[in-house]
Structure 1
Amino acid sequence: MEQRTAAEAGALEFYNDWHRAYFERYSLPEEQRKFTAMPLEALKACEEDRGRHPVVILYNGEPAGFFVLHEGEGIAQFTENKEAILLRAYSINSSYQGLGIATLSLRQLGGFVKRNFPGKTEIILAVNHANLAAQHVYRKSGFVDRGRRIMGRMGEQYILHMDLREA
């Protein structure tokens, strides 16, 4: 069996219409669905807000996950940093979970943002206090908690940061 490097196994690319069929079959466990938007829901929000940029996580060339990078006025509740970009609606399709794809994609995220959004100095995200698995993956991938909290639809959320000047 052919061995692939991490870079060949996983990649990030902007959403394109050919990805849509994959996201029509996308599934998440119920416990995870309460914390994130499904890709098709998030895509609708992207169509209505030009500051939202949908991104596909590929694994061996197949869409395995999804997230949105959000910039502009819509992220003011999360940060005062005008050079920040917000990671939202992050998920890995249930059939690809447990393969290390989340960690791999999040470790590639800093470089992806630097290449495609060169003026950004940090990536931020909001994670629910009860979503311990996601907190673990985010922290393992370089996000740090600076103590900021907001209330979300499912309760308190921690705002985590990745400084792109250090990454």
Structure 2
Amino acid sequence: MRSLQAAQSWLPIKEGLVPLQLKSLTIWDSAVIAGLMLDHVQSQFAGGPPASVFRSLQNARYPDMQHAFAIVEDEQAVGFFILKERLALPVWASDGAITIHNFSIGQQFQGNGYGRHGLILATQWCAENRPRANYMELAVNLRNAAAIRLYMSVGYVDSGRRIEGPLGELEVLTYPLYRVRTPQ
């Protein structure tokens, strides 16, 4: 299995370009995302505050198949998400998929393109580090229009599948990884 390498992208900011990176988190890295705050509604859609979601990974049934990441700018975490694969996949996931969960950008960092670039980095990471994966998938609440627009802006498409979630109906979106892989 390949190592959990970091991915990097350059985020255009008014004054120039700022490097945005993914940082793979271990169970000892809770302080990295401790400052990420969400409003109440965002927290519900994201499955809870990032720090609480991160702590729940300590009790994961398949810890080696769930990977927490911080989206980092200049050593400051601006976002968080979890990737799940193989035995850790939810029942709604397609064969050959890696699923993205609990994607969130701290409230104080929203509106700066971090979500879009974080998703691009997650996609690049999966394409480079999980060569057997064919898709990235996620489930998003139909009432979370801003998140749906964000996911679709980076190339996720509606799979046509719907599932029931704790806050209502979820739409399953998919991203074919062949779009970002270089031909071999």
TM-score over 0.5 for the pair = yes
Equivalent of residue 105 in structure 2, options 92, 104, 126:
92
Output the amino acid matched with 1:64: V
**1:154 paired to 2:164:** no
Deviations 1:2-27 (A, max 9, x none): 94435x1x111211467422422321
- Unaligned regions of 5+ residues in structure 1, if any? none
Q: Does 1:70 align with 2:84?
A: yes
Aligned-pair CA distance for 1:145: 0.3
Counterpart contact for 1:107–1:142, Cα < 8 Å: no
For the residues of structure 2 that align with 1:26 and 1:76, how far apart are their CA atoms? Answer: 25
CA distance in 1, matches of 2:123, 2:36: 25
Determine the structure 1 residue equivalent to 2:9: none
Taking a change above 3 Å as real, the CA distance of residues 118 and 4 of structure 1, as seen in their structure-2 partners, is farther
Partner residue in 1 for 2:23: 13
How many residue pairs align between the two structures? 163
User: Contact conserved, 1:13 with 1:55, CA < 8 A, in 2?
Assistant: yes
Say whether residues 1:27 and 2:41 are aligned partners: no
Matched, 1:133 2:146: yes
Segments of 5+ residues of structure 2 without an aligned counterpart are 1-13
Aligned partners of 2:88 and 2:72: how far apart in 1?
A: 27
- Amino acid in the other structure paired with 1:43: F
User: Residue 172 of structure 2 aligns to a residue in which SS?
Assistant: strand
- Please say if residues 22 and 72 of structure 2, whose CA atoms lie closer than 8 Å, have aligned partners that are also in contact: yes
Range 55-64 or range 43-52, more displaced: 43-52
Between stretches 46-55 and 16-25, larger displacement belongs to 16-25
Mapped to 2, the partners of 1:13 and 1:65 lie a distance apart of: 10
Percent identity at matched positions? 27
Displacement of 1:85 in angstroms is 0.4
What is the RMSD computed on CA atoms of the aligned residues?
Answer: 1.9
Match of 2:56 in 1: 45
Task: Determine which of 46, 50, 54 is the counterpart of 1:36.
Answer: 46
- String of CA shifts for 1:108-133, please: whole Å, max 9, x gaps: 22211122222211100000000000
TM-score normalized with structure 1 length: 0.88
